[in-house]
A and B are shown apart, each in its own frame.
Chain A
Amino acid sequence: MPVIVRDSGFEQDTWEAEGGLFIDLEKYGQDVADRDPSKTAIDIPNNVTVESLKGLFVNASMIRIPFPSFADGRGFSLAKQLRQQGYEGKLRAIGHLIADQYGFARVCGFDEIEIDDEMAKRQPEEQWLARIPKQDLSYQNLLMGERPLRNA
């Protein structure tokens, strides 16, 4: 069972149980565009341009961005761009992220991270919560007013 990491701690993923659907961007078509946005999440690859996604912002209440490896930081910039371009739904990171990256993900605009069971065991809840962004220790916040965008 995957685990959802949020500022409040580990949670079970209730998205699908509550009728939510994950749809691959490439399979996204008119039929899903007619769906209820509150039950629609889009899986995007981490090499798309945000420009090409703008039209979908109102059709989904969640966008999920993959991290194929924790060393692949594209997802951070992608999340930041989505927020800057006005996406207001939920942003979830999925894949190989480590607890030490939780703060980076949050400040870049992710609301939560989906990790697998093995990772949740190896890096338990307290290791992730220890990395909730400390705004009073952020140079970017100090210099440019960069802060976590939301955790809805």
Chain B
Amino acid sequence: MYNYNQFDHDFVRNRVKEFRGQVERRLDGSLTEDEFKPLRLMNGLYLQLHAYMLRVAIPYGTLNSRQMKQLAMISEKWDKGYGHFTTRQNIQYNWPKLKDTPDILDALADVEMHAIQTSGNCVRNVTADHFAGAAADEIEDPRPTAELLRQWSMDHPEFQFLPRKFKIAMTGSPNDRAVTKAHDIGIRMVRNDKGEPGYEILIGGGLGRTPMIGKVVREFLPKADLLPYVEAILQVYNLNGRRDNKYKARIKILVHETGIDTLREWIEEVFETQKIHHQTPPAEMIEAIEAQFQPPKFDNAKVDEDKLSKIIAADPLLRSFVETNISEHFDSNHAIVTISLKPIGGTPGDATAKQMRIMAGLAEAYGYDELRVSHEQNIILPHVRRDDLPEIYKVLKDAGLATANVGLLSDMIACPGMDYCALATARSIPVAQELSIAFEDLKLQQDIGPLKIKISGCINACGHHHVGHIGILGLDKAGVESYQITLGGDGTQTASIGERAGPGFSYEEIVPAVSRIIDCYMNIREGKNDTFLDVYRRVGADPFKEALYPEETATA
């Protein structure tokens, strides 16, 4: 867990002061709305459909109980008593007022948080594996590097007015839980032949109008070279990225149009210059960052597994929770708990102030004071003792936070869609709500098995629909909401972009259409371990298309 030093404190306070001044200068006419807009966006403030929206950074998704409690306080004091956790590991408030925003930012600074660069055409909040520092399969914790990149990107003088936004994601595990292949830069912690730690760097991934899987630009980058290398990528992008068309301005288009090999040459050339002109970050700074991400001092008393399994076996609901929402920790006495923010019929990613306080309390009591936000819009307790699981479950259950659906059908990603977002072309939240109600029986969901449904309310794909096993994209078709289905997407280490199934469905038709896909899958799968994605990759789209469009296929 990173704690601010005096420099960080001073930086964030100064930034709030600057923004307070910018709001005043907007009101006195010094700044036009056109000029103010990118400045407020760089401080996380959007103007949405019904109100402003403030997007608060939770760098690499890590926070402590004090911060979570402050997020709850802010939601009650300046918003409507809840917050929305997003695919960018941020929290969004849907109802702040412009005049209150500087005060909200000060309240965030009180707990070492900020909203800097959560929007705008700059380097955004760096995301990372939400199981970082806890997962059994991890090679190395990516968060010290993610924190270094956070610091490097803050108010970077050269890269605040890029052609378009720029997203960096990191993972330290072979199992990619951070969708690194769908980011402008994806970074994997690797070791070279000599066993030295370094990074594999991918560029040009992204979803949106032109979905692309990132390409490897550097197979092995020594750790010390990270900042000059990233500077080089950004400088090449800033000078050469397209600025004539907003939909072609991301680095993925530059990669596509220039070719990865040519671009690699440009980057390497600039990299050589950057190395000459910049010092390597002082070793004591790097060590100071790394020291703050050491694992907590675990309580190593051996868990009485016999006793625990009896308790679990005695309560079918607890058992189902443990089977579904618990992941393997690298320490055998500990476990990772995923708290689902996807209650049946609820808004994916929303938590009330009361729920935030309960999760913070659990982190304090059982979780070494640590919480995570996942890009799948859930909250994680990364380190809990296994024998505390029954008690944690009880507290979660009483708070409506024990839905045992992680990784299952109703654990959907949905962007805010047209219920909030000014860019949306259709709603996504109510589609998620109705789908989860249609499949409310968790036993049925468990039978269906691992399934990722992801819903976006417009082509910008904040709901990651391209990498959903079943993706749903809401569009405006001649003044009516229309939903397009993609199949076979995957956001992990075996990433692939979903394929369009065919013509769209109306709002009323979309839930029955998804049901037909599920029925089809259940009919053709060869046993329970034959997952939806396995089946799709084996049999292709045809059987699902027949299920989706029975009449057309019958007459064809």
- State whether these chains interact: yes
What chain B residues lie within 8 Å of A85 (beta carbons)? 273
Q: Are B161 and A73 in contact (CB under 8 A)?
A: yes
User: Provided the pairs A70-B35, A122-B29 are in contact, do residues A143 and B151 lie with their beta carbons within 8 angstroms?
Assistant: yes
Contact of A140 among B121, B156, B243 (CB under 8 A): B156
Q: Are B273 and A84 in contact (CB under 8 A)?
A: yes
Contact of B278 among A73, A105, A124, A146 (CB under 8 A): A146
- In the bound complex, CA of A124 to CA of B235 (Å): 31
Q: Are A74 and B238 in contact (CB under 8 A)?
A: yes
Contact of A103 among B38, B157, B273 (CB under 8 A): B157
Q: Is A77 interfacial (CB 8 A cutoff)?
A: yes
**Chain B CB within 10 Å, residue with most, of A103, A106, A127:** A127
Q: Is A100 interfacial (CB 8 A cutoff)?
A: yes
Q: Is B296 interfacial (CB 8 A cutoff)?
A: no
- In the bound complex, CA of A108 to CA of B235 (Å): 12
Q: Are B22 and A100 in contact (CB under 8 A)?
A: yes
Q: Are B243 and A72 in contact (CB under 8 A)?
A: yes
Q: Are B278 and A145 in contact (CB under 8 A)?
A: yes
- In the bound complex, CA of A110 to CA of B243 (Å): 22
Q: Are A137 and B11 in contact (CB under 8 A)?
A: yes
Q: Are A74 and B239 in contact (CB under 8 A)?
A: yes
Q: Is B160 interfacial (CB 8 A cutoff)?
A: yes
What chain A residues lie within 8 Å of B35 (beta carbons)? 70, 98
- In the bound complex, CA of A70 to CA of B243 (Å): 13
Classify the secondary structure of A's interface with B.
helix
CB proximity of B91 to chain A, nearest CB, Å: 23
For chain A, residues 122 to 137, give those with C-beta under 8 angstroms from any C-beta of chain B: 122-124, 127, 130, 133-134, 136-137
Q: Is B158 interfacial (CB 8 A cutoff)?
A: yes
Q: Is B4 interfacial (CB 8 A cutoff)?
A: no
Contact of B152 among A73, A123, A127, A143 (CB under 8 A): A143
Q: Is A78 interfacial (CB 8 A cutoff)?
A: yes
Q: Are B227 and A108 in contact (CB under 8 A)?
A: no
What chain B residues lie within 8 Å of A70 (beta carbons)? 35, 161
Q: Is A144 interfacial (CB 8 A cutoff)?
A: yes
What chain A residues lie within 8 Å of B7 (beta carbons)? 137, 142
What chain A residues lie within 8 Å of B22 (beta carbons)? 100
**Chain B CB within 10 Å, residue with most, of A98, A127, A142, A145:** A98
- In the bound complex, CA of A123 to CA of B158 (Å): 22
Contact of B10 among A80, A103, A123, A137 (CB under 8 A): A137
| B-binding residues in A (CB < 8 A) | 47, 70-74, 76-78, 80-81, 84-85, 98-101, 103-108, 122-124, 127, 130, 133-134, 136-140, 142-146
| Further 14 A-B residue pairs, CB within 8 A, beyond A70-B35, A76-B238, A144-B227 | A70-B161, A73-B161, A76-B158, A80-B158, A101-B161, A103-B157, A108-B157, A123-B25, A123-B31, A127-B30, A136-B10, A139-B11, A139-B156, A143-B281
